[in-house]
A and B are shown apart, each in its own frame.
Chain A
Amino acid sequence: MKARALGRLTAMNVMLTLEYRAAVSVFILNSVARPVISLLIWLTVSDQGVRLPYGRGQLVTYYVVLGVVSMLTATWLDETLPQHIRLGGLSPWLLRPAPYVFYYISENLGQKLVNLSTLLPLVLVVAFAFRADLRLPTSPLPWLIFAASLPLAMAIRFLLELVLCSLAFWVEDVEGVLALQSVLGAFLAGQYIPLALFPPSLSGFLDAQPFRYTLSFPLEVLMGTLSAGALASGFAWASGYCLVLWCCCRLPWRSGLRAYSATGA
């Protein structure tokens, strides 16, 4: 019954996203263009003969696949959820038979489905331009592990933002916290610079922080730079974060709802 509700809502959001096709194409163009700008810079450094932890092929692979993974793991709860809590937009949902969070999951999935159909052709064009250096695994195993790491990445990103947005139950203004985490989080996730290029002394910290598992980890898996031990500990960290964040979410949606005063509704 609940699965069917989620399915219907996702279909509805696919239609909604299609309404804004022009806007979507520009958004997609941006999400491919920005990694390519970073890639060109690092290729300039690499071609100067400077020895980097990543070779030319690895840099190309990282930044080309980055566009797809960051789109798949993206969230945009911060645009509406805090306002819904503050201004009472949450109220109608408390009466409906499906959990409130379904609205956001379905919106997220629906938009990503549509975005993918525009994103993939564009990524293929970029991949073609860099085909000489692109190194994708040819055996099925890395692809399978990559596919397993993606849902974890999506879940961590989504739950993390849900927890932070839920602070709006108690704090009047969470926009500052959200803005900070989006900038800092993108940096620590490897959105701009691969984590492998950070100083080695930081690697312990980088491996332990949650943002790595929202973007960098799936990419590292696909590039095959991780040993079996690093893979196992990576999956352990990711699952651990998933579980902890899931528990953190339960709390605000029980006691927070009691604090909810539905101003303006």
Chain B
Amino acid sequence: MIRYLRLWRQFVVLALVRQAEYRLNFLVSVGVGFAQLALAVLTFLLLYRFTNDVAGWSRAQVLLLLGIYRIVEGLLSLQIAPNLRAIDEAIRRGDMDFLLLRPVSSQFLVSLRLLSPAELVNVLIGIALTICAGNLAGVRWGAGNIAEALAYGLCGLVLLYAVWFLIVTCAFWLVQVETLHELFVTVSLTAQYPVDFFRGDVRTFLTFVVPVAFATTFPTKALLGTVQSRLLPIGLVLAGTALLATHLFWGYAVRHYSSASS
């Protein structure tokens, strides 16, 4: 465990060194982050032009959720996205050989070794929006509800990682998976709406099957103090199961890897 933490610290240092080389890239990340946020805010402003209440959510509450979505999305882009977007290329070119040969868990290496520090700005924008919108929505900030929101958010992050990782692992069989990433983007887009905006089977699907609800809806409700407490154990079990599933599927997929270089 200690060894893994030390390895991860090395990844962070390397990423910072790399980032310093590409400063324009930093500006682009910031610009894209602001554009996406502006688009989402505009969408909600248009939605709330006609009513003050959509499925029990006020405008301020939805903005709070949007802040949490930016944090989750920023964390995914910071630590997960650069890795998962590199996996298919590594398989196609045979670079995967070198990752599999290292004396540590290969899933750990392929999932966490790259970071894009510029995304930290998006996380900060998200935190700022969360605080502003939270005050508007009348959140009573306390250690209890913040801890609860963090717990839900962590489950949500793990679940999103698992869904994306399972999709990307299919790259061992399919050659071109660039569009598979887009499939995940579509899934994660639903996280910028409260899951209550959807009804019936779609809502069940987004709560339990592809559980984006744990990433944004439940943390928001935890801050507002309206979450059902039985959901947290369900989230922990779901997240644990999902991690185990990625581990097993990765192991199975690696056995089918026919190195491209040797």
Contact with B along A184-196 (1 / 0, CB 8 A): 0001000011000
Given A20-B176, A22-B174, A45-B51, A198:B46 Cβ within 8 A: yes
Is B31 a contact partner of A176 (Cβ separation < 8 A)?
Answer: yes
Given A29-B183, A45-B50, A51-B50, A23:B189 Cβ within 8 A: no
List the one stretch of A30-38, A145-153, A233-241 in contact with chain B: A30-38
> Is A93 part of the binding interface, using a Cβ–Cβ cutoff of 8 Å?
no
> Is A27 part of the binding interface, using a Cβ–Cβ cutoff of 8 Å?
yes
Further contacts, 6 of them, CB under 8 A, given A30-B179, A41-B47, A180-B35:
A26-B179, A45-B51, A48-B51, A52-B50, A179-B32, A183-B35
List, in ascending order, chain A residues with CB within 8 A of B198's CB.
Answer: 40-41, 44
Is B28 a contact partner of A30 (Cβ separation < 8 A)?
Answer: no
Given A20-B176, A26-B180, A193:B190 Cβ within 8 A: no
Is A197 a contact partner of B46 (Cβ separation < 8 A)?
Answer: yes
A interface, over-half SS:
helix
| Distance, CA A42 to CA B47, complexed state (A) | 8
Q: Can you offer 11 A-B residue contacts whose CB atoms are under 8 A? A: A30-B179, A37-B190, A40-B199, A41-B47, A45-B50, A48-B51, A176-B31, A179-B32, A183-B39, A187-B42, A199-B49
Is A41 a contact partner of B197 (Cβ separation < 8 A)?
Answer: yes
Given A22-B176, A27-B182, A40:B197 Cβ within 8 A: yes
> Is B143 part of the binding interface, using a Cβ–Cβ cutoff of 8 Å?
no
> Is A141 part of the binding interface, using a Cβ–Cβ cutoff of 8 Å?
no
List, in ascending order, chain B residues with CB within 8 A of A198's CB.
Answer: 46
Is B179 a contact partner of A27 (Cβ separation < 8 A)?
Answer: yes
> Is B253 part of the binding interface, using a Cβ–Cβ cutoff of 8 Å?
no
| Distance, CA A41 to CA B193, complexed state (A) | 9
Task: From B54, B174, B202, name the one whose CB has the most chain A CB atoms within 10 angstroms.
Answer: B54
Contact with B along A1-23 (1 / 0, CB 8 A): 00000000000000000001011
B positions within 8 Å CB-CB of A: 28, 31-32, 35-36, 39, 42-43, 46-47, 49-51, 53-55, 174, 176-180, 182-183, 185-186, 189-190, 193, 197-199, 202
Given A45-B54, A199-B49, A30:B174 Cβ within 8 A: no
Instruction: Give the bracket for the number of chain A residues in contact with chain B.
Output: 20 to 34
> Is A50 part of the binding interface, using a Cβ–Cβ cutoff of 8 Å?
yes
Shortest A171–chain B CB gap in Å is 15
| Distance, CA A23 to CA B180, complexed state (A) | 8
Is A44 a contact partner of B55 (Cβ separation < 8 A)?
Answer: yes
| Distance, CA A110 to CA B83, complexed state (A) | 33
Shortest A59–chain B CB gap in Å is 12
Is B197 a contact partner of A187 (Cβ separation < 8 A)?
Answer: no
Shortest B23–chain A CB gap in Å is 14
Is B50 a contact partner of A44 (Cβ separation < 8 A)?
Answer: no
List, in ascending order, chain B residues with CB within 8 A of A27's CB.
Answer: 179, 182
Shortest B194–chain A CB gap in Å is 10
| Distance, CA A52 to CA B49, complexed state (A) | 10
List, in ascending order, chain B residues with CB within 8 A of A179's CB.
Answer: 32
Query: Which parts of A36-73 form the interface with B (CB within 8 Å)?
Result: 37, 40-42, 44-45, 48, 50-52
Nearest to A179 among chain B residues (CB) is: B32
Is A193 a contact partner of B46 (Cβ separation < 8 A)?
Answer: yes
Shortest B38–chain A CB gap in Å is 9
Our pick among A30, A45, A50, A180 for the contact of B183 (Cβ within 8 Å) is A30
Our pick among A23, A29, A40, A41 for the contact of B178 (Cβ within 8 Å) is A23
List, in ascending order, chain A residues with CB within 8 A of B42's CB.
Answer: 187
| Distance, CA A199 to CA B179, complexed state (A) | 35
Is B182 a contact partner of A26 (Cβ separation < 8 A)?
Answer: yes
Given A40-B202, A41-B193, A179-B32, A26:B183 Cβ within 8 A: yes
